[in-house]
Structure 1
Amino acid sequence: MMQLVYDSLTGNVRRFAEDVSRQLGGMPLFAVSKAQDLPDDDYLLLTYTFGTGGVPASTQAFLQQRAAGLRGVVSSGSFHWGQNFARAADVIAGQYGVPVVAKVNKAGSAADRMRVLAWINEQEERAGNSKDVEDVN
């Protein structure tokens, strides 16, 4: 079963991850700071972009320990950073050979959540673990 792993500085990514988890009926959700509690299953990483396009040190440290289950990445950012908007997703995708599932502005929108939910559902169906998405409104 897919899990959600998040790293959040301001709470935006945490709220986004909690919303996605709730809409999937309580999909397992872990903070990178609790990596020791993460089962050895596949996961979607949700993180933020630090500074002018960097991957947070806490996310980097987590990936050094637990990269094996990484299946995709979502990053938040702010549109005002232009080409560096949510760039952490591009960096992680390039380093680990996984898809960028979404780049979200701050705490994301309903459309962002639907994009992530659709990707998770596709992955779960491929693995034979179909999840029902709850109403996102």
Structure 2
Amino acid sequence: MVHLYYDSKTGNVQRFIHKVIQITGWHAHKIEDGLDVPEAGHLITYTTKLGCVPDYTKQFMDNHAHKIYSVTSSGNRNWGKNFGLAADKVSEDYDVPLAMKFELSGTMEDINQFIDIIKHQYNDSKRGSKKLDIA
């Protein structure tokens, strides 16, 4: 079973996650204080302050990076080069492969691409290649 760990401030990531779990039946866990991390999985976060990693995401990764197979981030293309930059920073800082980036709450194409990446690149058992970024 695939586990998704997500951080959402405005609801965009949460909407993305809910669409993914409706299609797949995967387990989703919102990052919050006291979150139990029962299984390894994939991180989905958002980019804040024009290119920063959210505080809860940092705290989560400080404690659980060894259980994270990939990182995905939402963002806004209006931010130009800072679009989804949180994913790049998490990937670099915690040595976790970047799966993809999507805008706001994602399109159905984004959702299907994410599902495909997780199903075919990771096989639920180990980290994929650092060169995974196909977004």
Q: Aligned to 1:115, which of 113, 116, 123?
A: 113
TM-score by length of 2: 0.85
Counterparts in 2 of 1:51-130, with a 5 A limit? Answer: 51-122=49-120, 123-124=122-123, 127=125
- Matched residues in 2 for 1:82 and 1:53: separation? 10
1:34 is displaced (CA, Å) by 5.6
- The one-letter code matched in structure 1 to 2:16 is F
Which secondary structure does the structure 1 equivalent of 2:99 belong to?
strand
Q: Check whether the contact 2:75–2:103 (CA below 8 A) recurs between aligned residues.
A: yes
Q: Describe the superposition over 1:53-103 as per-residue Cα deviations: whole angstroms up to 9, x where unpaired.
A: 000001001111111111111101111000000100000111122221111
Measured in 1, the distance between the counterparts of 2:26 and 2:95 equals 24
1 or 2, which has the higher helix percentage?
1
Question: What is the TM-score normalised by the length of structure 1?
Answer: 0.84
Query: How big is the alpha-carbon RMSD for the aligned residues of Structure 1 and Structure 2?
Result: 1.4
Q: Give yes or no for contact 2:43–2:68 (8 Å, CA) kept in 1.
A: yes
TM-superposition CA deviations, 1:10-68 (whole Å, max 9, x none): 000011011112211x21110111653320x2211010001110000010011111111
**CA deviation profile, 1:98-133 (whole Å, cap 9, x unmatched):** 221111110111111111101121123x64xxxxxx
Q: What SS does the aligned partner of 1:72 have?
A: strand
Runs of at least 5 residues in structure 2 that lack an aligned partner in the other structure: 126-135
Distance 1:95 1:59, change over 3 A: same
User: How far apart, CA to CA, are the structure 2 residues paired with 1:96 and 1:77?
Assistant: 20
Structure 1 runs of 4+ with >4 Å offset: none
Closer, same or farther in 2 for the Cα pair 1:46/1:111, shift >3 Å? same
Aligned residue number for residue 10 of structure 1: 10
Q: Which runs of 5+ in 1 are unaligned?
A: 128-137
* Structure whose CA Rg is larger: 1
